[in-house]
A = this chain, B = another copy of it.
Amino acid sequence: MSSEHARQPVTMREVADAAGVSVATVSHVVNNKEGARIGEDARQRVRDAIHELGYRPNALAKTLSSGTSNFIGLVADAIATTPFAGQIIHGAQDEAWKHGYVLLVANTEGDPAAEDAAITMMLEHQVRGILYSTWFHRAVTVPEALRETDYVLVDCYEAGSTAPAVVPDEVQGGRTATELLIQAGHRTIAFINTTSPSPAQEGRLVGYRSALEAAAIAYDPDLVLNAPSDQEGGYAALDHVLTLDATAVFCHNDRMAMGLYDRAHERGLTIPGDLAVVGFDNQEVIAAHLRPPLTTVALPHYELGAAGIRRLLGDPNPSGKPILIPCPPVIRASIA
């Protein structure tokens, strides 16, 4: 047991005794009560005693007496399986702390019972509000209990409702990926999209088409394939891409690009010499370490978390539609 390490917490009474004042005086100083008439001398003795004894004010008591807590809840569905959830937490925590709030994080791994328990726990702790986040961009049904407090959906949205939401700008991301290839001189650009229906599938295709249109390149539906969104999907798609006379390919995500690289190397092709490649996600552990390193478009998870907190705390959004967060390009070495 580690109990022998733990010191007993210092009480307000001990601070009062050390400073030679009443407990009420210590309380006034600690809580910055306005209008309390305490001399600067006594105030300083209290501060000195606090410092010397290592007294820590009780945040829960403060919460209770002020009637509002400094907690914001974050419900995440996949902390354990993806670094993406971690980046949402990081962004949300940094932004919450800036505003004096502490993040209560709960991990549900998609289990409805865990989700219900997490939201209940947060409501019982009088949270200021809750961010409800998913690890990939999708439509959700807002859990009934969420409506008991302020909430913001992060990386998800409710179809046909005005539920506050913050999501990545898939259309802009798809356009940016395609533009990177167009700017390098490519005109015949294949797009390996995912087979999974999702806002990413739809939005990135819209972005791909709008980039072509802006460059006066005719849209050719034969250049758009669909494949499972993992390495195996990208690997299997490469042979088809080679029949299309494409000089460049936009992969729906970095995992597909990794598989596509493997098959391209097996076939003796050079990237980017024989085929330029752009990914999506910026999944660092893959994209930064492929041969050559993969140029891609980042999913802005940190920004999603931070923007979710700002929306919760009052950033106005008169449109009633989800707020779109830009997906920035990350330039490496797979386009020439």
- Tell me if B150 and A3 are in contact (CB < 8 A): yes
B interface footprint on A235-258 (CB within 8 Å = 1, 0 otherwise): 100000000000000000001001
What residues of chain B lie closer than 8 Å to A104, measured between beta carbons? Answer: 102, 104-105
**Separation of A3 and B149 alpha carbons in the complex (Å):** 8
A216 an interface residue at 8 Å Cβ cutoff?
A: no
Asked if A33 lies at the interface with its beta carbon under 8 angstroms from chain B, I say no
Which residues on the B side are within 8 Å of A3 (C-beta)? 150
- Among the stretches A42-50, A219-227, A283-291, A323-331, the one at the interface with B is A283-291
Residues of chain B with a CB closer than 8 A to A148's CB = 6-7, 9, 54, 56
**In the complex, what residues of B have CB within 8 A of residue A290's CB?**
231
Other-chain residue from B105, B129, B230, B255 in contact with A105 (beta carbon distance below 8 A): B105
Contact of A291 among B102, B262, B312 (CB under 8 A): B262
A-B contact pairs, 22 of them (CB 8 A): A2-B311, A2-B312, A3-B150, A56-B148, A58-B64, A58-B126, A59-B121, A59-B126, A60-B60, A60-B63, A60-B126, A79-B87, A79-B89, A81-B83, A83-B86, A86-B86, A90-B107, A97-B117, A102-B121, A104-B105, A265-B265, A265-B266
